[in-house]
Chains A and B, each alone.
Chain A
Amino acid sequence: MKCIECGHEAPVSDFRYLYNARIDSSISIRQCMKCQEWIAVDEIKGVATQKIGPGEAPWGKSAGIEGLAEDARQ
């Protein structure tokens, strides 16, 4: 897998596993051992999908929020 920030390449398991984005999703949050960036990883494809900064949620909206008009628009 290639780090989306610094381009470092290594097997997915070498990127430090931090925690899941959601238990029922194949996206996890891992840390690049070279640049220390937090990245979202698609665990099935073995691909880094985005950097994870504060306030960014790779899992999208919280579960259940879709049914709540005002919140869903935000």
Chain B
Amino acid sequence: MAQAALKDTSVKEFEKKQEWWWAAEKKRSKRLDYLRKAIWKKGAIGGLYAPGVKVDLERAQLHTQKAKEMEMSPDAYVIKFAKMFAHILDNKTIFITDHAQLVGYTGSLPHTMGWDPSAASILNEEAFNDPTAIPDPVDVNQKVIREINNYWIGKTDLDKMMPVFDMEDLMKMLSGSIGWGVPLARGGYSSKDYEYIMTGKRAFAAIIDELDRKIDEVDEEVHQPGANAEISKAYDKLNNWDAMKITLEAGIRIAKRYARLARIIAENFEEDPKRKEELLKIAQTCERVPAHPPRNLQESFQYDIFIQMMSRTEAIEGAWPSRPDYYHGPYYDKDVNIDKTLTREEALDLVGEFIIRAAEVCQFKPKWTREGLQGIDGTWVWTIGGVDRNGKDACNDLTVALMQAARLVRVANPTLSFRWHPKVKDEVMREIFECNRQGLGYPNMRNDPILVANTMHWYGHPIEEARLWANQACLSPCPTTKHGFQPMRMANATANCAKIIEYVFTSGFDPVVNMQVGAETPDVATFKNFEEFFAAWTLQMQTIFSILVRAVNRARTLAPTMTPRPFLSGVSERSIESGLDTLDPSIERGNSWITAFTWVENVDSLAAVKKLVFEDKKYTLAQLKEALAKNWEGLEEMRLDFVKNAPKWGNDDDYVDDIMLRCLDEAAKFSKVLKDPSGNNWPILPENVSGNIHYANIVGALPNGRRLGDALYDGGISPGPGLDKKGPTAVLKSCGKIDHITGGRAFLLNQRLSPTQLAGEKGYQLWSSYIRTWADLGIDHIQFNMVDDATLRSAQKDPEKYQEVIVRVAGYSAHFVDVSRKTQDNIIQRTVQGLG
């Protein structure tokens, strides 16, 4: 929008037109406005990065340089790894954004994406083959990348691990038909032991002291007369502790480099006295944290950012599990309410900047990840609200400030996830509503009592720990405690579940990748009744889940020695105490889950087969098999019969809802047969991110009436777009039939509501009553899109004008213009539910 038009239009006028992004731009402070506009758009647009965003060669070069230097070193691998980490932190280029109060970034420059060349050659080759992401001059830098890649061939984590995997499982998984991602313990979603590191009791310097004590104590023990198995293990522990210490010391050093930079700018270049003061405050902050515990809100946020930056230097983290109001809230309270060193406006600026610093974080990802997470780099889902370990309401002033700041900065990532419970105050609920009404698509709502019980049921976390959960990725609650936190959840335990029903028709042969992937069940045409058909479905489900879980289990078993994480271990109480890498399954309670992409297609397809083939006998299985093989081509009337004349999930129809429950029951039973390396269960978690689009050309025609190429359903338990004909309460009633404690890990439900209908106090009351029904039915999750058809279609026609429109895709939000046309159409197609 032209600056003049922006100036002449009032906030109220923009709000009336529901152009929230312009209203936010006028409402936020000059500092926030600058910072918001100073970050680069890092989420991939469809599957490609935005112009100007480039792979960070500096980090890759530093990493490679140190690796080469240490090739002949006698150090244990974990020590070498820690030294590479330290080398990167000690030598990377650092910067401070103008007007910023917080510092720290994963790349060397604001437009770069961190690239870890030691993770996987298949990732490195993507860097080589993506000229749009290679820095200029492309031809020169492509050669640089080639040299880096050549060095790492056979030496990356995945390259080293592949020969010790089961090759058949690995090939099926890497075919891309049933899974999503690679089994790599340095690539996925890392929860953190925030109870250890973020409660103000200790920071890096105190941990280093503790490590020195441990090292001295054990070093003395191993040199006493005697020999036994414990002493043999102690040498590994000593290496791990040494490696942790190396990384923490490097963490303190880089913070001091930021402090020095801030002082240099303040004392030599900055002329504005106010900014000079701010730079000196940055210097003091970085001299304090992460070496010592924070004393105020700025230090607390800075400490968190440093930990995230370092963790993302060590691994490719695709999520941002955190609970910012819970851990930073006491500092907000101290600064704003007790000491009054910050006004609410100043605090809001700091909160907004904290969100912006997270929004700019990016690590180079392969295309399959980008397509499955269109518009964002990873699922930075920040958990707010909820209860404390004693079950008391944990909402505080920062809970509200985070939502207010989110409306001002309007980034698609991070998003907020609210832990609803019966004691949440109305003022907090109104903030949640306002964020959603203003089209952010967040916070989503999580049913806390249900999820605490669920967390205890599936993994046996004690109630005091279960109450401290944060989303580990989009939806999976994970306690932020010593034995409760899961240091890595690998993305490849993500099942493309529509293949389950597809394989029933192909006897497990995958026509897209042209190989036998599923179980060799009998020819579908031979099934005499629905029970035989369902038994084949169950076997295919078990087969797919097993392939994925076996690979993850293998990777987790190998991880402590082959892909250690000394930095993450250094901020984990259990590793400091035991000397074991934090990825060692023996010191974790286990919090694994299978993400079930494209789940509901199974339910609608099974219902269609049961009704039209076995009950109405309108078609034979042979005819249906042939129709699917032809992709329904020339069989439109038959296809529509399967869509319109078979019950569909989401309409409070027991016929199909019972099939959903039966499928979940089979999955839940098998979840307890599958065990992770900690000995715990693998429940399923139906959700999709934008996998429903990624898999559109991988999943063949299905009995629910879908063709190869069509978008799959958008949510974990969301009905098919346009197939929920009976209104919002019927959707909730269907979803409420699921036992959200024992039926699975969590269940994603997308709902689209009308922003016009929900305007004003009446709108809030309608939504509020809808949420009460949702809670009463014991549903664990719900999230909303409140952007009307007209705006979305206008954004398709004139994307430049609607750059800031945000939509809820699945477990995350994205700018509408950054998702593919197919995803956009899929979002528009979703049923708009009228409340009341």
Contact A61 B831 (CB under 8 A): no
Known contacts A17-B709, A54-B797, A68 near B637 by CB under 8 Å = no
Question: In the complex, what residue of chain A is closest to B826 when comparing beta carbons?
Answer: A19
- Binary interface profile of B, 742-778, with partner A (CB < 8 Å = 1, else 0)? 0000000000101011000000000000000000000
Q: Which residues of A are at the interface with B, using a C-beta cutoff of 8 A?
A: 12-13, 17-24, 26, 28, 43-44, 53-57, 59, 61-65, 67-71, 74
Question: In the complex, what residue of chain B is closest to A60 when comparing beta carbons?
Answer: B789
- Binary interface profile of B, 814-832, with partner A (CB < 8 Å = 1, else 0)? 0000000110010011111
Q: How many residues does chain B have at the interface if contact means C-beta atoms less than 8 Å apart?
A: 49
Contact A22 B644 (CB under 8 A): no
Residues of B within 8 A of A61 (CB): 789
Contact A68 B757 (CB under 8 A): yes
Residues of B within 8 A of A67 (CB): 834
Cα–Cα distance between A74 and B554 once the two chains are bound (Å): 55
Known contacts A23-B706, A23-B720, A55-B793, A71 near B754 by CB under 8 Å = yes
Contact B721 A22 (CB under 8 A): yes
Closest approach, in angstroms, between the C-beta of B371 and any C-beta of chain A?
15
One of A13, A22, A55 near B796 (C-beta < 8 A): A55
One of A21, A57, A64 near B833 (C-beta < 8 A): A64
* From B631, B790, B829, B830, residue with most partner A Cβ within 10 Å: B829
Contact B705 A23 (CB under 8 A): yes
Contact B711 A64 (CB under 8 A): no
Contact B828 A26 (CB under 8 A): no
Residues of A within 8 A of B720 (CB): 23
For the complex of A and B, the 8 pairs showing the least CB-CB separation, nearest first, are A70-B756, A55-B797, A63-B722, A55-B796, A43-B636, A54-B796, A64-B831, A55-B793
Contact B756 A24 (CB under 8 A): no
Contact B832 A71 (CB under 8 A): yes
- Binary interface profile of B, 149-162, with partner A (CB < 8 Å = 1, else 0)? 00000000000000
Contact A57 B721 (CB under 8 A): no
One of B644, B705, B832 near A64 (C-beta < 8 A): B832
Cα–Cα distance between A63 and B728 once the two chains are bound (Å): 12
Known contacts A70-B754, A71-B789, A44 near B831 by CB under 8 Å = no
Question: In the complex, what residue of chain A is closest to B794 when comparing beta carbons?
Answer: A55
Question: In the complex, what residue of chain A is closest to B829 when comparing beta carbons?
Answer: A22
B766-821 with Cβ < 8 A to chain A: 788-790, 793-799, 821
B76: Cβ under 8 A from any A Cβ: no
B723: Cβ under 8 A from any A Cβ: yes
- Binary interface profile of B, 608-643, with partner A (CB < 8 Å = 1, else 0)? 000000000000000000000001011011011001
B696: Cβ under 8 A from any A Cβ: yes
Closest approach, in angstroms, between the C-beta of B656 and any C-beta of chain A?
15
Contact B636 A44 (CB under 8 A): yes
Question: In the complex, what residue of chain A is closest to B648 when comparing beta carbons?
Answer: A24
Contact B790 A63 (CB under 8 A): no
One of A24, A57, A68 near B644 (C-beta < 8 A): A24
